[in-house]
Amino acid sequence: MENYIKLSTLNDFIFCPKSIYYHTLYDSYEKNIYQEKAQKEGTKIHEKVDNKTYSSSKHILQAMSVYSEFYQIAWKIDIFNTKTEELIERKTKIFLDKEWKPKIYLWQKYQLWWQMFCLQEMWYNVQSLWIYSVKDNKKYRIYKPNDMQLLKFQKILKEYKNFDLLQKNFRQNTQKCLKCIYRELCDYYIWEVYPQLKLFD
């Protein structure tokens, strides 16, 4: 299993390819040392699932390790109901946009799709995918990927495997840098983003 890619690492990669390296630097530290408010809330939300105390029902699988031999990915699911065949990912809160539509990001969809691939390889039938917004007690349906989305997923895996931390001309969205918990370790933030921020002080 050492060669399998963690879903959490893939999520980091989609957010910013450089963050996968900084993520490993923090692995040996207690999370509360480097996590910011949003990450701490997310950890709190997952406590019952991680401790497998969310439900005592045997048909509710909690924090179960899953893997895909085909894609070489592995991680843990939040909740899978073997009776309804619903796969559920818990989030602190899903916010609404100006048109009152849920703001669900691509990486959040990928999380569920990847978990579904793993479960299917493990001979589970997955009927539906959901994101559960804990703070406002709402569920949002995530539809299964189409052929184009599958191709994009495979492309991301290839980019992940070929990414070079030292590549030239690396660019990133400044707003992502400002939200990144690894920004103080990142050369791009230190040399490119932070000096620009100082100009507006």
Residue 162 contacts by C-beta under 8 Å, 6 or more apart in sequence? none
Q: What is the mean pLDDT of residues 27-35?
A: 60
Q: Where are the beta strands (DSSP E) in the chain?
A: 5-6, 60-62, 65-68, 73-76, 79-81, 86-91, 128-133, 138-142
Q: What is the mean pLDDT of residues 148-176?
A: 87
Three-state SS for 72-100 is CEEEECCEEECCCCEEEEEECCCCECCCC
The percent of residues above 90 in pLDDT, for the chain, comes to: 45
Region(s) of the chain under CATH 3.90.320.10? 5-165
* pLDDT, tens only, 39-49: 566 566 667 67
Q: Using N-to-C axis directions, what is the helix angle for 7-15 and 106-121, rounded to 10°?
A: 160
pLDDT at site 30 = 63
Split at pLDDT 50, 70, 90, the class of 102 is very high
Computed over every residue of the chain, the mean pLDDT equals 85
Q: Is the pLDDT of residue 19 over 90?
A: no
Task: Report the Cα 96 to chain-centroid distance in Å.
Answer: 19
Fold of 5-165: Lambda Exonuclease; Chain A (3.90.320)
Split at pLDDT 50, 70, 90, the class of 1 is very low
Q: Which residue has the higher pLDDT, 195 or 109?
A: 109
Which residue from 66, 63, 13, 58 is spatially nearest to 43, judged by alpha carbons?
63
